[in-house]
């Protein structure tokens, strides 16, 4: 069975990393139009927004009216496993 140890270990890490990716990394309530990821500066002209950054690489913005906008892309596969692994090293 040891021939499958690497495959089983990678799958275990991937499942752990996928669960970790859904955790909140930071929350930022603001009215700034100069965030590094912001492609929608008009969202903050007249009101504030709440940006929630997730470990998995995406940012979810909640607008004043309750609607949501997503920035970035979710990490997957090897990139996700590497980022998960480096977060555990801290």
Round to whole Å and give the CA distance between 90 and 80. Answer: 16
Predicted confidence at residue 47, as pLDDT, reads 94
Report residue 23 as tokens. 């955790």
For residues 37 and 59, is the Cβ–Cβ distance under 8 A? yes
pLDDT at 43 over 70: yes
- The reported pLDDT for the residue numbered 87 is 81
State percent of the chain over pLDDT 70. Answer: 97
pLDDT at 52: 98
pTM (two decimals): 0.87
Confidence of residue 86 (pLDDT cuts 50, 70, 90): confident
């Amino acid at each position: 069975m040891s021939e499958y140890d690497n495959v089983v270990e990678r799958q275990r890490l991937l499942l752990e990393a996928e669960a970790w990716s859904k955790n909140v990394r930071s929350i930022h309530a603001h009215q700034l139009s100069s965030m590094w990821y912001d492609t929608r500066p008009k969202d903050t002209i007249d009101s504030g927004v709440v940006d929630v950054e997730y470990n998995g690489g995406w940012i979810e913005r909640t607008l004043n009216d309750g609607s949501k906008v997503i920035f970035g892309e979710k990490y997957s596969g090897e990139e996700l496993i590497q980022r998960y692994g480096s977060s555990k090293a801290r």
